[in-house]
Amino acid sequence: MSYSLNEIEAMCKCASRGAGLPWGLCEEAAKGTRWLASFGFPGPDLLVSLLELNDRLPAVDLSPVALQGIWRAPAGRLSPLIAGAAMSDCAIKMELGNIITMLEVDYPLLVVPFASGAALRLGQPVAVEWEGTRMVTNGKELCVQGNSEAILSSHAKRVECSAPAQMLSQSKPIHRAVVGDACWARLGVFAQRTFAPATEASRLRGAGAGLTDND
Amino acid sequence: MIMSVCETDAIQLRSPDKVMKLSRLGSIHQSRLSFMRILLRRMQNENWRFDRPVFEMDECGVGHAVYCAHGPDRTYSLVAFSHDLPAEKRSDRVIADAWDATFTLFDGIPTSEDIERLSRNVPLQEAGRICETELSLSRANRSARLWEHIVTALAKGEQPDLQKIEAVGYLMRTTAVYGSGKFGAADREMIADRLEFQSPFQVEMLSVFLTRAFVRDLVEYMARMKGGEKAVKLDPAIARSMGIGNSTGLGMAPFLLNHPVLFNNWIAAREQAAARVRALPQASEQEIELFRELLARSILLTASWTTDHQIQSEKTDGLKRDLVSLQQQAENISDASDHPWNQLNTWAEKELSLEGQECLTSLMLEPYGALVDDLANTMAADNTPTFRIAGAMTLQDLREVLERVYGWALEIDWSDQQNKAKAWYVSEEKLEPRLGERFEEPIEEYEQPLAPGRDAAALYHALGHWPEDKNIAQFLLRHPEYRHIVRRAQIVNQAPYAEIRDNTIASDVLPIDMLRCKLAFFGAVQFDPRSDRWVRINMYANAPYPEELALQSDDFWVYPALRKGN
């Protein structure tokens, strides 16, 4: 079905929270997924697969051990959301010519939206590369090189982020995206966990409407 | 874009610590920079044309109608569906599932296929689906008190009882107006570059403006069905006095917290406007005269404001007294006064309640459209530039930001249950936002991040043992749970009016303060709280109807006209 980008963002934020991510990361997962969807990528599918994989696991297990050297996770697999957010936080490192290298990253395409944030901060395009794929963004537009299998792969052994990068072609975002019903339902399972069960007491007290709301 | 906040040197902007208190935000009044007034001003200046190409109703008033607004470049159409709602189903709660009337604002002129598609979806509201040609989705219920009375009176060839009308103020009240991307509608980003949507909430305000015309037409139609030849139309002056009601629950409160940059831009525009006026060294006799006239008309407006809510009732009484004192004080200013508006403000800060002070802030902008109206273009926001965290900021700098912006929160004892008694959550029932008792209900695990004061204090505490030269990127790698509040702190560091500087989860928090603030920016009047978290208001009361807009010579419709003798 066709969704507005705001719907996608709202659903992804809720679903990420339902999977146990801290609010700040939920916000970024949601913005990132929206960003990918606006370029026609199945961001919601990748996100929900990641949420299922890492459901309620401690964020720290999937985070880079340190920001120096090559990034790896204590538990072996890096979350693209946590590593991506850290890359955006450290954007300034890339400005100095350093390449940020991440090892064993799940759903690497989910790192790319963070490169857009980094690019906006640096004012120059940032490249993200893994296994024959190269994505370059200046924050507003995206240049894609690679076959779709590699782009959508569920895991990459090595992901490299660098700046400044050259944009050879540019695709612009669109304001609409199609998300499959099955994917939406999978996201909905996570989102549902964030809603308090309905009770009569909550219905009366919580919204403060009192017994009569009519006149 | 964050609005710049330091253009006026002569008179300082009011400090965020003063402005962003809930009690003051909950006392704000509509102004020239309210979204309804911005919209009507534009449509008036640009000579928008209006028509009603479709009005197909059966004898029970069930059917649909289309109202078009033609601007210089584009046409927008309100598609209205009118239903036969059994009285027992009429509810203002978001958990209702049927309404007297349902609406969408269509981008362009709908074809019959569009209307057929919309007729299968718009009446279902949240349970239906709209698409990118639709810009809003809304619904309204009749005021049971007034609707029957007016239909019956008009059907008999009589005009309705004015006292009954004044007691309510509207014929229908909207219970939700959804915009930007909701339920499949177009995202704001799709239309944000159109001049007519440069200011916030213009889609929603246009939809309500056209809804008001539809409601008047429908009540006249029903009277004709009932009374036939005998029926008369509603006296234009009575019609004009009536607005569209709105019944608003908690959903609006999180909005202000979830859109910090946007909120900053609203408040900053109003503060900037006030600072420009206060900085004027002199006022002309005409400007002062206009101010006095609108003050007198404000007194009339305030007189029409009734509520049974004890706190608001006391506030309104205070405001009524304040406006009379202000009237006396305003006699002392003349074209010879030095900085007359600043003088009046300084006096008001000492002598008037918050309601009175904020009413003056709005009123003194009125004579100065040429000086302040451009600020309407600074009130929207693009969040992209402020969303990313600046990870290179040192923890020492972050501490300083927290002390400056959240100093009030660092002084609160967060271990005291009273200071965190409430929790904001979302119910699975139609995702209604609610506020519960943290220590009495099983809701904490569902808590939404709407307590920035508490979170900032926790962050400040967590930073305590970190070396000051470490940076945010390093800290967040270990503490992703603070990512949300670090982002907020960095936003408020750049946008000083972005944060409500008060405790939003205290046992005595009044969510209606947040609702009032947002609704005042819409341009609402007659705030009538039904509880601490639920408020009714009136929109577009006294406004011209679409066909009257071109005849309007000024922009002061919100203030009722002075009767002979006042």
Express as a percent the part of chain A with pLDDT over 70.
Answer: 94
Between B7 and A46, name the one with better pLDDT. Answer: A46
Q: What's the pLDDT score for residue A206?
A: 67
Task: Look at the block and give the residue holding tokens 């006149």.
Answer: A215
Of the pLDDT bands very low, low, confident and very high (cuts 50, 70, 90), residue B10 is low
Residue in B180, B387, B531 nearest the CB of A6? B180
Nearest CA in chain B to A9: B181
Is the predicted pLDDT of residue A90 greater than 80, yes or no? yes
Between B553 and B123, name the one with better pLDDT. Answer: B123
Read off the pLDDT of each residue in B538-545 and give the average, rounded to a whole number: 97
Candidate from A108-112, A160-164, B59-63, B167-171 with smallest mean pLDDT: B167-171
Cis status, amide bond into A164, omega within 30 of 0? yes
Residue in B132, B388, B431 nearest the CB of A195? B431
Read off the pLDDT of each residue in A46-54 and give the average, rounded to a whole number: 98
Task: Look at the block and give the residue holding tokens 């509810």.
Answer: B91
Read off the pLDDT of each residue in A111-122 and give the average, rounded to a whole number: 96
Residue numbers in A near B426 (CB within 8 A): 194-196
Q: What's the pLDDT score for residue B564?
A: 63
Is the predicted pLDDT of residue A76 greater than 50, yes or no? yes
Nearest CA in chain B to A27: B484
Contact yes or no for B531 and A210 at CB 8 A: yes
Length of chain A: 215
Q: Which two tokens stand for residue A11?
A: 């659903």
Express as a percent the part of chain B with pLDDT over 70.
Answer: 98
**Angle at which helices A23-38 and A112-122 cross, to 10°:** 90
Q: Which two tokens stand for residue B209?
A: 């403006």
d(CA B553, CA B77): 25
Nearest CA in chain A to B483: A24
Could you read off the pLDDT of B435-455 as tens digits, one per residue?
999 999 999 999 999 999 999
Q: What's the pLDDT score for residue B88?
A: 84
Task: Give exposure, A39-78, as e/b (b: 16+ Cβ within 10 Å).
Answer: bebbbbbbbbbbbebbeeeebeebbbeebeeebbbeeebb
Of the pLDDT bands very low, low, confident and very high (cuts 50, 70, 90), residue B6 is very low
Read off the pLDDT of each residue in A8-23 and give the average, rounded to a whole number: 98
Q: What's the pLDDT score for residue B20?
A: 98
Q: What's the pLDDT score for residue A200?
A: 75
Residue in B144, B431, B476 nearest the CB of A89? B476
Between B95 and B541, name the one with better pLDDT. Answer: B541
Contact yes or no for A208 and B391 at CB 8 A: no
Q: What's the pLDDT score for residue B378?
A: 97
d(CA A6, CA B190): 11
Residue numbers in A near B485 (CB within 8 A): 24
Contact yes or no for B435 and A195 at CB 8 A: no
Nearest CA in chain A to B426: A195
Q: What's the pLDDT score for residue A208?
A: 57
Is the predicted pLDDT of residue A212 greater than 60, yes or no? no
Could you read off the pLDDT of B168-218 as tens digits, one per residue?
999 999 988 999 999 999 999 999 999 999 999 999 999 999 999 999 999
Candidate from A37-51, A61-75, B15-29, B426-440 with smallest mean pLDDT: B426-440
Is the predicted pLDDT of residue A116 greater than 90, yes or no? yes
d(CA B146, CA B169): 9
Backbone angles phi, psi at B554, to 5 degrees: -135, -170
Residue numbers in B near A197 (CB within 8 A): 428
Read off the pLDDT of each residue in B327-351 and give the average, rounded to a whole number: 97
d(CA A79, CA A66): 14
Contact yes or no for B533 and A27 at CB 8 A: no
Between A35 and B382, name the one with better pLDDT. Answer: A35
Q: What's the pLDDT score for residue B566?
A: 47
Residue in B429, B486, B534 nearest the CB of A209? B534
Contact yes or no for B427 and A196 at CB 8 A: yes
**Nearest C-alpha of chain A: how many angstroms from B381?**
15
**Nearest C-alpha of chain A: how many angstroms from B1?**
13
CB B495 within 8 A of CB B267: no
Could you read off the pLDDT of A161-209 as tens digits, one per residue?
999 999 988 888 898 999 999 999 999 999 999 999 987 777 767 665 5
The per-residue pLDDT of chain B, averaged, comes to 94
Residue numbers in A near B387 (CB within 8 A): 27, 31, 117
Full-model pTM: 0.96
Alpha-carbon dihedral angle through residues A84, A90, A95, A101, given to the nearest 10 degrees: -50
Q: What's the pLDDT score for residue B565?
A: 54
Q: What share of chain B is helix, strand, coil (3-state, %, to 5)?
A: 50, 15, 35
Q: What's the pLDDT score for residue A101?
A: 98
DSSP output for B192-232:
TTSGGGSSTTHHHHHHHHHHHHHHHHHHHHHHHHHHGGG--
Of the pLDDT bands very low, low, confident and very high (cuts 50, 70, 90), residue B2 is low
Q: What's the pLDDT score for residue A203?
A: 72
Is the predicted pLDDT of residue B280 greater than 60, yes or no? yes
Nearest CA in chain A to B146: A215
Contact yes or no for A207 and B432 at CB 8 A: yes
Residue numbers in B near A22 (CB within 8 A): 480-484
Q: A-B interface: how many C-beta pairs under 8 angstroms?
A: 181
d(CA B412, CA B451): 13
Express as a percent the part of chain A with pLDDT over 90.
Answer: 87
Could you read off the pLDDT of B233-274 as tens digits, one per residue?
999 999 999 999 998 888 888 899 999 999 999 999 999 999
CB B493 within 8 A of CB B403: no
DSSP output for chain A:
-EE-HHHHHHHHHHHHHHTT--HHHHHHHHHHHHHHHHTT--HHHHHHHHHHHTTT--GGGGS-S-SSSSB--TTSPBPHHHHHHHHHHTHHHHHTTPPEEEEEEESGGGGHHHHHHHHHHHTS-EEEEETTEEEEE-SS-EEEES-HHHHT-SEEEEEEEESS---SS-B---S-EE--HHHHHHHHHHHHTTSBPP-HHHHHHTS---S----
Contact yes or no for B534 and A207 at CB 8 A: yes
Residue numbers in A near B181 (CB within 8 A): 4-7
Interface test with B, best of A6, A33, A79, A95 (most B CBs within 10 A): A6
Q: Which helix (H) or strand (E) holds B395?
A: helix B395-405
d(CA B315, CA B310): 9
Read off the pLDDT of each residue in B495-508 and give the average, rounded to a whole number: 97
Read off the pLDDT of each residue in B472-500 and give the average, rounded to a whole number: 97
Angstrom CA distances, A81 to A127, A184, B134, B200, B426, stand at 17, 20, 33, 32, 25
Is the predicted pLDDT of residue B9 greater than 60, yes or no? no
d(CA B455, CA B257): 13
Contact yes or no for A92 and B392 at CB 8 A: yes
Q: Which helix (H) or strand (E) holds B68?
A: strand B63-70
Alpha-carbon B7 to chain mean position: 26
Q: What's the pLDDT score for residue A199?
A: 77
Residue numbers in A near B385 (CB within 8 A): 120
